[in-house]
Amino acid sequence: MASILPKTLTQNLKSRSPFRDLSMFLNKDGPVWLTIKSLTNGLEDQKVNYAIIGGLAVYAHGYKRTTHDCDILLSRADYEKFMTKLANLGLKPKFQGARKKFIFTSTEISVDVVIEGEYPGAGSIGPISFPNPKVCQENIDDMKVISLPKLIDLKLTSYKRLPTARLKDCSDVVELIKNAEHGEEELNKNPKFESPQQHET
């Protein structure tokens, strides 16, 4: 499949350096942002509902940290549609048989898919599961992003279930609360956050 990105952008991606990548990312440019913008446009065209999760959702809600991949949440029904549209979306399986890990062919950025009903953290049954994106999405920069309260819920659950392995989730929650662009009203919709220090006493 031919690249769905302009030729000049594709050429720019081949001359990358760590400092240039960081600068471009913080300016919402570069391969990760090109990937998510192209992918979400494709999902809209294919009538596949979604919500951006992971590091890009954290960034969208005010904590300006970098990420090297794209994560999206799909409903079970839309996941089946998504799997039939991989070529149209510019995606290929990351490895043979992969059904939730993909590569965006134009940028070589990883795209991970989470399906409604799955559980954060270890993946085993828990008190909170990933919801249908229709009930937890909001529009930010013309893209559908998981809501701040639900993002905090999921990351906090992930951290509590795997506290050693998921320290980044705890850090994200702390910074999201400190930097919340949507104010206290949004955060008041979320259950009370318990900091790691409260568990150390």
Domains, the chain, ordered by start: 7-147 (3.30.460)
CB atoms under 10 Å from CB of 153, counted, come to 22
| DSSP states along 90-154 | TEEESSTT-SSEEEETTTTEEEEEEETT--STTSS--S--PPPGGGSEEEETTEEEE-HHHHHHH
Mean pLDDT of 76-89: 96
Say which residues have a Cβ less than 8 Å from residue 33's Cβ, sequence separation at least 6. 24, 25
pLDDT score at 199? 46
Nearest-angstrom CA–CA distance, 41 and 10 = 18
pLDDT score at 201? 41
Greater model confidence, 43 or 21: 43
pLDDT score at 104? 98
Do β-strands 101-104 and 91-93 pair in parallel, antiparallel, or remain unpaired?
antiparallel
pLDDT at residue 188 greater than cutoff 90: no
Most confident of 100-104, 117-121, 123-127, 182-186: 100-104
Query: 87: helix, coil or strand?
Result: coil
pLDDT score at 197? 46
pLDDT in tens, 30-63: 899 999 999 999 999 999 999 999 999 999 999 9
Residue with tokens 């392995």: 165
- Residue 163 dihedral angles phi and psi, to the nearest 5°: -60, -35
| DSSP states along 156-197 | HHHHHHSTTTTHHHHHHHHHHHHH-TTHHHHHTTSPPP--HH
Mean pLDDT of the chain: 85
What's the sign of the alpha-carbon dihedral 67, 69, 74, 76? Answer: negative
**Residues forming a β-bridge with 137:** 146
Q: Are 148 and 187 in contact (CB under 8 A)?
A: yes
| Per-residue tokens: 91 | 């995606």
